[in-house]
Amino acid sequence: MDGKPTGQRTGRQTGWRGSEDLWLDAAYALLIEGGVDAVKVMPLAESLGMSRTSFYGHFDSREALLDALIARWKAKNTGNLIAQTEAYAESMPEALFNLFDCWLRPDLFDARFDFAIRTWALGDPALKAVLEEVDQQRIEAITAMFARHGFGEEQARVRAYAVYYTQIGYISMMVVEPVELRIQRMPLYIETFTGIPPTEAEVARFSARHGFGAAHVLGEGDGQRDL
């Protein structure tokens, strides 16, 4: 879903209306690049080389398209985040590493999409209410993750706030941080958020699935990804 819409055609197409996903991909691209005001039917049709009528073969209105965009954002970012908090983990550091996968894999959690939705919500009270509900769902999932690993109710909630608000700060401030540096800091974030340093074995498993050697993540490597 990142980047330009897939399946884009050049020139005006006749007899082909595309697909709902194709229109949503194009709307996503416009939202990321120009905000919600850029997501309009004619620019979408022109970007896909199709007619305005083709759009209405999939959506009743622009509002229906925007609703579908919000549904896609919720399914991807919130659905995947909750799934990561519920993934199997033998320890609290391992559980938090599962969640941190979201911050490193755009296929799990699209930070640009989250930023665009948050910006859109600043001028849309209805979406702001949805966003507040989604934020609470995410925080509740992180709180439950801490609770499953033995933290008391208040400890679990406050630590969940710390984890979540830190990441939302990264998104809202549009922090650009090399992945080599960010992944190297993650074991320190684990210890900060949980009070428990991850073991070398936990760091090794986490770093391997993101293409790094454990030595790099532990600050002993040269910053090169494993090939």
Encoding tokens for residue 66?
A: 């925007």
pLDDT at 19: 87
Mean pLDDT for the stretch of residues 155-165: 98
Give which of 50, 37, 207 is closest to 23, Cα–Cα.
Answer: 50
pLDDT at 66 over 60: yes
Residue 217 pLDDT: 83
Look up residue 6 and give its DSSP letter. Answer: T
pLDDT at 223: 43
The residue assigned the tokens 């949503």 is: 24
- Percentage with pLDDT > 90 across the chain: 80
Averaged pLDDT score across all residues of the chain: 90
Say whether pLDDT at 81 is over 60.
yes
Cα–Cα distance for residue pair 28/25, rounded to 1 Å? 5
DSSP 123: T
| Alpha-carbon distances, residue 151 vs 51, 97, 212 (angstroms) | 56, 17, 31
The more confident residue out of 12 and 166 is 166
Judge whether 65 and 23 are in contact, CB under 8 Å: yes
Share of the chain above pLDDT 70, in %: 89
Identify the pLDDT of residue 4.
Answer: 40
One-letter amino acid identity for 119?
T
Q: What is the mean pLDDT of residues 30-52?
A: 94
Whether residue 149 has pLDDT greater than 90: yes
- 8 Å CB contact between 35 and 119: yes
Cα separation, 31 vs 93, whole angstroms? 35
- Please determine, for residue 98, whether its predicted confidence score (pLDDT) is greater than 90: yes
SS3 212: strand
Query: Per-residue pLDDT for 218 more than 90?
Result: no
Neighbours of 54 (CB within 10 A): 22
First vs last C-alpha separation in the chain: 25
- Distance separating alpha carbons of residues 118 and 152, to the nearest angstrom: 31
Predicted TM-score (pTM) of this structure: 0.87
Say whether pLDDT at 9 is over 80.
Answer: no
Lowest average pLDDT, out of 22-26, 77-81, 177-181, goes to 177-181
Contact, 158 vs 182, CB < 8 A? no
| Residue 215, pLDDT score | 86
Is residue 85 predicted with pLDDT exceeding 80?
Answer: yes
Asked if residue 225 has pLDDT above 90, the reply is: no
